[in-house]
Structure 1
Amino acid sequence: MSNKKKERKLAKKLLHKYRLVILNEDTFEERFAIKLTRLNVFVLTSISAILLIILTTLLIAFTPLREYIPGYASTSLKRKANELNTKTDSLQKAMLMNERYLASIKSVLTGEVKTEDFNRDSILKAARQDIDFSQVLPNRQDSLLREKVDKEDKYNLFEDNNTANFVLFPPVNGAISEAYNLEEKHYAVDIVVPVDTPVKATADGTVIFAEWTMETGYVMIIEHSQELISVYKHNASLTKTQGDLVKAGEVIAMAGNSGQFSTGPHLHFELWSKGYPVNPTNFIDFE
C-alpha cells in the first residue's frame, strides 16, 4: 500500500501543472505564459539534447569543419602535400642544373678555363715502348691518302658528316687588333669597327645569355648546333634577349666600347666547340 502511495505521489509530481509567466518589470503586465509539467520539461530537454548531438555530428561529418578535429587526416590535404613535395623536389633539381649551367657560362665570360698539366714526353715515350712502329709503317698509298684527308680536314670544325653545309658567317668585317692567343689566355679575336656597327649572328642558334657585365659590357652568347657556342662582347646595345632564336647573318647587337676591359670600339668574338676554345680565324674571314 505504501508503494502505491509513493507511485501516485511521484506521478502527481510529474504531472502536476505549473505556469511559466513572463511579466513586464515596470507594469507587471503579462507578456507570455505557458503551462508546463515536470514530465514535459524532462521530455523536451531530452529531445533537445538528442537533436543537438545529431546536428553536431552531421555538421562535423559532412562539412570542412571535420579537418579541424585533432587527429583527423584529410585525403585532399594529403594529396596536395604529396604534389607540393614532388614539385619542390623538381624545383630543387632544376635550380641545381641552372646553377651548374650559369657557372659554366661564367667561366666562358671571364675566360677562366682550366688546363690540365701533364708530361707529354713521358706519355709519348710510354706509347713508343708499347708499339713497335717498324711493323706499322704506312706504305706509299696510305701516306698519299693520309695527306689528302689531312688537307680536307684542316679547316673542318666538326666531325659529323651531316655538317657539310654548316657555314660560319662573319659577325663583323674589319681589321683584327688582337689575335687569338692561347698562351696569353686570349681565346678570341678583337675586330676594330666603328661604334653602332651591326653585329650579326655567325650561325643559326639560340640566345642563352644577353646581359650587361661590369668587365665586358653588353655580352651575348649564342648556342649553335654541333655543340658550338659563339660569344660577342663589348657591345653598345643588344637587339636580342635570352631565349630568342636567331638566323645566320641576323643582327643581334650594335658594336661599341662598353665594359672596363674595353680599349676602344671593337668586337670581342669567341668560338667554343664542345667546351674548348677554337681560333675563329681558322673558319671565318673577317677582312
Structure 2
Amino acid sequence: MAKTTTNKKKFKQKLIDKYRLVVLNEDTFEEKLSFKLNRLNVFIFGSIFSILLIVGTIFLIAFTPLKEYIPGYSSTKLKKEATQLVYKTDSLEQVLKVNNQYLQNVRELLTGKISEVNFDKDSAMQMIKLNRDSVNLAPSESDLDFRKDVESEDRYSLFNPAKKTSDVVFFAPLTGTITDRFNIEIKHFAIDIAVEAGTPVKAVADGTVIFAGWTPDTGNVIVLQHAAGFISVYKHNSVLHKQEGDIVKSGEVVAASGNTGEFSTGAHLHFELWRDGQPVNPENYIDFE
C-alpha cells in the first residue's frame, strides 16, 4: 500500500516537475529561445489543440462544399437536383426530336419532295390547311369598333386631347418669333421659336434632366421631367449645359439655341410639352409673347 502511494506521488511529481526548452545556435551555442514548461502543461495544451483541430475539421466538412468530395457521401438535395436535371434533359431531347421531325416535313413540303403532309388534327398547320380557302381575314365591324376603343384608351392616344388643368406654373423657355405652332393633324407636337443662335434656353419649371445628348435628326436635345406628369423637350440646341440626372430650377439655363440636326432649317428652338404620355399644346400652358 505504501509502495502504491509512493508511486502516485512520484507520478504527480513528474507531471509538475519544470523543464526548460532551449533553442541554441549550433555553431556558437548562443541561446536564441527558451521555454519553461512541465509535462502537465504540455498534456493540457496538446489536448486543447487536438480538440480544437477535431472540432474545426468537423465544422469545415459539415458546413462547406468539401463534404461533397468525401468518398461515399450522399446528399438528398444533390440527388433531387440530379434527378430533375435528368428529367428535364429527357424532355428537351423529346421536344428537339419532335421539332426536328416537324421542320424536316415542312422543308420537304416546301421543296416539293412530298406533295402532302398528314398533320395532327390539333395542329395549327392542319387548321390552316383545311380553312385557308374559307377564312375571311378582313376585320368585322365589331372588330373595327373594338380596335377604335382600344386605340382611344391607349396611353399615347392622339384622339383625345390632354387635360389643360395643371398645378404646375410654367415659364417661357425663351422669347422669339413663333414660326410653327402645335398641330396634331400633321403630327407637329411642338412649337418652333426663331431666335439668334446662342440664345439661352431656360427650364420652363423645376425638374430633373432625364436625357441630354445628340441625335442625327434633332441635334443636341435635352429633356426635363417635371411634377404632375409633365415632360418638356428642347431640340436643335448648339450647346447643352446640363447632364442626365441633374436637378434644375425654373428659369435656369439648360442649353443654348442653335441650328443642329438634319431637320433644322435655321436657328430656332423646337419646344415640346408632354403630359402623361400625351403631347399637349405648349401655348395652353405658357405665354410666349
Query: Please, what TM-score do these two structures have when normalized by structure 1?
Result: 0.47
Give TM-score, length-normalised by structure 2: 0.47
